[in-house]
Structure 1
Amino acid sequence: MAAVLRWFAALVLAWALSAPPASAQTVTVFAAASLKDALDDIGKAYEVRTGVKVRVSYAATSAIARQIEQGAPADIFVSADSEWMDYLADRGLIAPASRRDLLRNRLVLIAPANSRTRLRIAPGAPIGPALGRERLALAAAQVPAGKYARAALARLGLWRDVQGCVVDAENVRTALQYVARGEAPLGVVYATDAKIEPRVRVVGVFPEATHPPIVYPAALTTASRSREANRFLAFMASAQAARTFQGYGFTIPRR
């Protein structure tokens, strides 16, 4: 009898070790490319804390919004502007009550780290002459970083000087890499992008009044079936996550 009980106990133990934990679920997040480093760290911290797997798909906000519109299985959408969040809200694809503004950012002009370019961002700044025959790296016009950049350059009266010299990148991280690799002498990216790339330096910061506020809203999608999605959304707005975001250069809106 004792041998049978030992065998049964061993069988139960083997089953327990092989079975996934009760909390082992997955949360799928579609997020703006500029969030990658910070959100990767936050996702890992949440996994360690809860055992829940956090999968994040990064791309231009416009691209991931379209993917969600076409039925991609996202639980949470984190946009780099309000317009694309509004776009999905207008189509009934996000849960309105879950929407919150998570983060703020700044827009900067960058050059390769070894560049000697010196410019002051102001009306009439000689960005066009500084480019010479080379290109200004911007995220594409439909991408939030690209929209902010074009708005700022237009407000400063500089867009006409540079519009023929722009190289469009699919997202802001690609624009960052064009400058980091020396393929473009100047680029416009978020301050947080410049902070994580040692091969570039910030030439100047665009005044906030030159472009719409750079806000990152987040929300649950109406298609989400994950019981953990709302908990992870709340974790992204927690004090612990805020410290991580701030470490990467983001600011936290007043709530």
Structure 2
Amino acid sequence: MFRTLLASLALLLSGCAPTEETGPVVLAASSLTEAIEAAADAWEAQGHLRPVLSFAGSASVARQVEQGAPADIVITADEQWMDWLAEHDLVDADSRRDIASNSLVFVRRDQQVALPTGSGWQPRRIAMADPDSVPAGRYARSALEHAGAWQAVEAMVVPAENVRQALALVERGEAELGVVYATDARTVPGLVTDALPLPEGVEVLYPAAILASSTSQDAGAFLEFLSSREGGAILCEHGFSMPGGRTPC
């Protein structure tokens, strides 16, 4: 699977002009798709070369980096995968920073489908990103454990490769419930959403860093833009929050 993703990225880049004529290549968690695309548009509008963007689950993104994907910036949906990249000396540790945070929600098409945090819950298929490897799934399991509901739902989990696939399962009616990021739920109108609190002290963070192998002269500048007040405002417009509650959200 990872080789396929790497090959796809190489094919994407093969149609681009030489490195000096393109913007930095960004590998990012799929839940950031609309927000990073909007940030890239704003960056290009300021007269810069538009970044080349590729989105996948954080595990897939990290493996692409490990396998030598020709990229410049990586953004994951949790600290664990970024820590893994740092431990393997694949990112510039000094460039690392958290650019956004998120929250979890239940999603369902039918208001009458009960949530597993209440009494009288009937077992339902519940879609989420794979809790064994994907950040959104790990956060979902942590939140459900905190709510005392994980034991009830574990056998009914329909694991997905990333949070967007979990959302699609609910949208198509292949799962009655889902746990996704609040920002992803915004992309599908008509779904019923309910907050799923995380345990105290746990925060969904999006760390970003420049790859140790980066050759782009604009990588640092674009990462600074994402971390700036202007870049933060774009992320906020797409439903993200700033880590620690800092402005502009």
TM bin (shorter chain): 0.7 to 0.9
Over 3 Å counting, the alpha-carbon distance change for 1:127 and 1:169 in structure 2 is farther
- Tell whether the 8 Å contact from 1:152 to 1:210 is kept in structure 2 after alignment: no
- Kindly state the Cα deviation for residue 211 of structure 1 after the two structures are TM-superposed: 7.8
| Residue 35 (str. 1) matches residue 25 (str. 2) | no
Deviates more, 1:234-243 or 1:57-66: 234-243
The equivalent position to 2:76 in structure 1, one of 74, 79, 83, is: 79
| Residue 138 (str. 1) matches residue 128 (str. 2) | yes
- Kindly state the Cα deviation for residue 224 of structure 1 after the two structures are TM-superposed: 0.3
Runs of 4+ in 1 over 3 A off after TM superposition: none
- Tell whether the 8 Å contact from 2:146 to 2:198 is kept in structure 1 after alignment: no
Rounded to whole Å, the distance in 2 between the matches of 1:117 and 1:211 is: 30
- Tell whether the 8 Å contact from 1:107 to 1:188 is kept in structure 2 after alignment: yes
- Tell whether the 8 Å contact from 1:75 to 1:229 is kept in structure 2 after alignment: yes
The equivalent position to 2:179 in structure 1, one of 181, 185, 188, is: 188
Give unpaired runs (5+ residues) of structure 1: 1-19
The structure with more radius of gyration: 1
| Residue 228 (str. 1) matches residue 218 (str. 2) | yes
Q: Normalising to structure 2: TM-score of the pair?
A: 0.85
- Kindly state the Cα deviation for residue 85 of structure 1 after the two structures are TM-superposed: 0.3
Letter in 1 for 2:130: A
Cα offsets for 1:208-234 (capped at 9, x unmatched): 326831000000000000000101101
- Tell whether the 8 Å contact from 2:130 to 2:162 is kept in structure 1 after alignment: yes
Rounded to whole Å, the distance in 2 between the matches of 1:247 and 1:94 is: 28
The equivalent position to 2:191 in structure 1, one of 196, 200, 224, is: 200
Cα offsets for 1:29-86 (capped at 9, x unmatched): 0000000011111111111212302111111001110110111111000010000000
Give unpaired runs (5+ residues) of structure 2: 1-16
- Kindly state the Cα deviation for residue 182 of structure 1 after the two structures are TM-superposed: 1.6
Secondary structure of the structure 1 residue equivalent to 2:24:
strand
Secondary structure of the structure 2 residue equivalent to 1:110:
strand
Rounded to whole Å, the distance in 2 between the matches of 1:218 and 1:128 is: 39
Cα offsets for 1:3-23 (capped at 9, x unmatched): xxxxxxxxxxxxxxxxx9xx8
Rounded to whole Å, the distance in 2 between the matches of 1:194 and 1:127 is: 26
- Following superposition of structure 1 onto structure 2, how do residues 1-255 of structure 1 map, counting pairs within 5 Å? 24-112=21-109, 114-119=110-115, 122=117, 125-126=118-119, 128-129=121-122, 131=124, 135-141=125-131, 142-202=133-193, 204-209=194-199, 212-254=202-244
The percent identity for this pair of structures is: 41
- Tell whether the 8 Å contact from 1:149 to 1:211 is kept in structure 2 after alignment: no
Over 3 Å counting, the alpha-carbon distance change for 1:188 and 1:211 in structure 2 is farther
Over 3 Å counting, the alpha-carbon distance change for 1:211 and 1:109 in structure 2 is farther
- Tell whether the 8 Å contact from 2:102 to 2:181 is kept in structure 1 after alignment: yes
- Tell whether the 8 Å contact from 1:117 to 1:130 is kept in structure 2 after alignment: no
Over 3 Å counting, the alpha-carbon distance change for 1:127 and 1:161 in structure 2 is farther
- Kindly state the Cα deviation for residue 172 of structure 1 after the two structures are TM-superposed: 0.2
Rounded to whole Å, the distance in 1 between the matches of 2:200 and 2:192 is: 21
Rounded to whole Å, the distance in 2 between the matches of 1:67 and 1:217 is: 17
Over 3 Å counting, the alpha-carbon distance change for 1:78 and 1:249 in structure 2 is same
Rounded to whole Å, the distance in 1 between the matches of 2:83 and 2:95 is: 13
Q: Normalising to structure 1: TM-score of the pair?
A: 0.83
- Kindly state the Cα deviation for residue 126 of structure 1 after the two structures are TM-superposed: 4.4
- Tell whether the 8 Å contact from 2:57 to 2:134 is kept in structure 1 after alignment: yes
Secondary structure of the structure 1 residue equivalent to 2:220:
helix
- What is the match of residue 16 of structure 1? none
Rounded to whole Å, the distance in 1 between the matches of 2:47 and 2:150 is: 48
